[in-house]
Amino acid sequence: MKIHGQPYRTIWLAQDGWRVCVIDQTRLPFRFETVTLGSVEQAADAIATMIVRGAPLIGATAAYGVALAMRSDPSDAALDAVLALLGATRPTAVNLHWALNRMRVRLVGLKPRVRAQAAYTEAALLCDEDVALCRAIGDHGLPLIREIASRKPVGERINILTHCNAGWLATVDWGTALAPIYRAHDAGLPVHVWVDETRPRNQGAALTAYELGAHGVPHSVIVDNAGGHLMQRGQVDMVIVGTDRTTATGDVANKIGTYLKALAAHDNSVPFYVALPSPTIDWSLSDGFSIPIEERAAREVTHLSGLNEDGDVASFRVVAPGSPAVNPTFDVTPARLVTALITERGVAPATAEGLAALFPDLARGAAA
């Protein structure tokens, strides 16, 4: 995608050919700054502090983290240690473990002296594949938006609600939930996106609004509690969200608040779609309540980040001093509330059978 007319991915190699550049998402939307990662510790810190975030981008950064580590110490002991270090950065997004396992499988049988080169090649491949998967999600989601457009008078806007940021900033490029929206907008369909602000970290207000604006997609930011009201008034045609981990039976973990949107969509007969690449499916789980839910610092609830009067990015307290806060950061939407899953291989019902029919190779591999 383009920022200030310049094409970007969210992760790329520095000019020296070995360090790894990412966009600092803690500074957006007010500052577009990049960070150069030169060690696995810096990669792990970038994931944990959410300089990079979004399930697919977490996986891609971890893959490059392994490459950075192998460059300085390609021993078996170092490989085990970095897989453990990176694996502990964030608990919910299964793409992290998928990417680390892929790197382990690729590297473990190799002689240490060739591991660094192999790791960089594998990380680059994983990133290219993520772009292709997300683009394919866009291809398969576009007809769902077209179908809604076909039931409306020509030119009437199609209102799509999304939660958190599942756009290109959350992936290597294109995004998951936003990929069909970009495709629809580029195809000339009059889409308009309701962007949930997504407290506590405001990924919707800060990141989704930023990237939709940069691409020229009409959108409006709403507070997290507005979605149900808009649905009751017929002002939401469909919901599309991303996910950090989806079970083999179609239960969906995504940013906290997603479940409430699914309930409201169900009550108002609004279709609720979840867009995901196959690395986000945890084939080992059949119950969404087994998904580990990340708890982050209370400060994310008690404080907001924004621009102060001097134009500097600053943090502001919004909770009564002394009041404790609790910060579960994901929730689980049961499969029964999900209209369908939009994947790189097509649209599937959110059921074990639906997923296994689209991904017989992966479902079988997990069962073996």
Which are the catalytic amino acids? 244
Binding footprint of ligand MRU, residue count (CB under 6 A)? 18
Per-residue burial over 186-208, b = 16 or more CB atoms within 10 Å of its CB, e = otherwise? eeebebbbbbbbbbbbbbbbbbb
Q: Which listed residue (11, 43, 56, 120) binds ligand MRU by CB under 6 A?
A: 56
Q: Rule CB under 6 A: is residue 302 a binding residue for ligand MRU?
A: no
What is the dihedral sign for C-alpha 2, 191, 236, 174? negative
Stretch that binds ligand MRU, among 16-24, 53-61, 69-77, 299-307 (CB under 6 A): 53-61
Q: Which two tokens stand for residue 34?
A: 């990049």
Q: Which listed residue (46, 79, 99, 166) binds ligand MRU by CB under 6 A?
A: 166
Q: Which is nearer to ligand MRU, 22 or 93 (CB)?
A: 93
Q: Which two tokens stand for residue 318?
A: 């919004």
Identity of the residue numbered 315: S
Distance, CA of 323 to CA of 217 (rounded, Å): 39
Q: Which is nearer to ligand MRU, 120 or 168 (CB)?
A: 168
**Chain position whose Cβ is nearest to ligand MRU:** 242
Q: Rule CB under 6 A: is residue 227 a binding residue for ligand MRU?
A: no
Q: Which listed residue (10, 61, 243, 249) binds ligand MRU by CB under 6 A?
A: 243
Stretch that binds ligand MRU, among 69-77, 165-173, 221-229, 230-238 (CB under 6 A): 165-173
Supply the DSSP string of 150-198, one letter for each residue. HTS-TTPPEEEEE-S--SGGGSSSS-STHHHHHHHHHTT--EEEEEE--
Contact at 8 Å (CB) between 105 and 63? no
Q: Rule CB under 6 A: is residue 202 a binding residue for ligand MRU?
A: no
Stretch that binds ligand MRU, among 115-123, 164-172, 216-224, 264-272 (CB under 6 A): 164-172
What is the dihedral sign for C-alpha 181, 186, 192, 196? positive
Q: List the alpha helices (DSSP H) in 73-158.
A: 76-87, 94-107, 112-150
Q: What x/- string results for residues 84 through 113 when contact with ligand MRU is judged by CB under 6 A?
A: ---------x--------------------
Q: Which is nearer to ligand MRU, 243 or 339 (CB)?
A: 243
Residue closest to 242 by CA, chosen among 215, 261, 223: 261
Stretch that binds ligand MRU, among 38-46, 168-176, 189-197, 225-233 (CB under 6 A): 168-176
Q: Which listed residue (254, 333, 339, 343) binds ligand MRU by CB under 6 A?
A: 254
Which residue has 């986000």 as its token pair?
A: 280
Q: Which two tokens stand for residue 149?
A: 């457009």
Q: Tell the smallest beta-carbon distance from residue 198 to ligand MRU (Å).
A: 8
Other Cβ atoms within 10 Å of 114 Cβ, number: 12
Q: Tell the smallest beta-carbon distance from residue 244 to ligand MRU (Å).
A: 5
The footprint of ligand MRU (CB under 6 A) covers 53-56, 93, 164, 166, 170-171, 175-176, 203, 242-244, 254-255, 329
